[in-house]
Amino acid sequence: MEISTKLMELYQEKIEGLLGNGIAPYFYKVIQNKDATPNEILYTVCFFDTFLEHCSMNVNNIRLIIISLVLLEGC
Amino acid sequence: MKAADEIIKYFINFCHEALNLDIVQSAVFGIGVIAKRMDQHSFSQYKNECLQIIASIITAPDAYSEEKAVCTDNAVGALGKIALYQSQTNDKVSEEVLLKFLQLLPLKNDSEEAQAVHKMLLTEIINKNAFLASCSQEVQGVLINAITNIKTQDINNPELEILDDQGKQLINSILEAK
């Protein structure tokens, strides 16, 4: 979590594709998991705080990237 | 369903559940981040609930206890983002939200958040934020008071580091122009 948020802060556009497409779906699963530990929830919330704060994309348009990958992975 | 819509619902739930203070602090900060970046139409369905959550944090009897003060500063920051980015001109409720935010300044307990929130407000003033510019004379007076209080606090308690160098420059240019 710390690494991904620092990378986001430092490199923004260069890293946001990897974080949005590669890592965000996994964190998204964590917040859906009712058995997630408080630490897992905290790291996930911090990740999305940083991602949504620093990503160059329009926040209103991020849906397809994250959710479609979660669905694809579940197929 | 949009990702930001999904995530803000979880943030709201985490604030309600209050599993631990760190989660509440991060979740309420995230509500502010989304308030800043989401369009007003989309955010409108969450605005009232977010304001209720923020109110419950900042009006708690122990809001500024040693344990909770940092979380409270983050809630005030989220209130500020709603006030500055989710307000409509000529709307009484929007003015009330802004007034509440201004009355809670300066932030003093979380220097990182204090610097960011103060700079956000100062930048919006410099950039002539449409909502701020449309507010009544009464609100403009409270705004100037809030800025003066930030500067006074910064001068009297430099160890709190509530303004970074850019914030200091912005506040000086605003106050010199008045």
Tokens linked to A1? 């979590």
Higher pLDDT, A75 or B135: B135
Cβ within 8 Å, pair B30-A48:
yes
- Cβ of B14 within 8 Å of Cβ of A45? The answer is yes
Measure B131 CA to nearest chain A CA, in Å: 22
Domain ranges of chain B: 3-177
| Whether pLDDT at B167 is above 70 | yes
Q: Is B156 exposed, middle or buried (0-12, 13-18, 19+ CB in 10 A)?
A: exposed
As a whole number of angstroms, the distance between CA A39 and CA B32 comes to 21
Contact A49 B3 (CB under 8 A): no
Q: What is the pLDDT of residues A16-41, one digit of tens each?
A: 777 777 788 888 889 889 899 999 99
Q: What is the pLDDT of residues B17-62, one digit of tens each?
A: 887 999 999 999 999 999 999 999 999 999 999 999 999 999 999 9
Q: Measure in Å the smallest separation between the Cα of B46 and chain A Cα atoms.
A: 14
* Residues of A in Cβ contact (< 8 Å) with B2: 60-63
Confidence at residue B1, expressed as pLDDT on a 0 to 100 scale: 59
So what's the ipTM on this one?
0.90
For B81-109, what is each residue's pLDDT tens digit?
Answer: 999 999 999 899 999 999 999 999 999 99
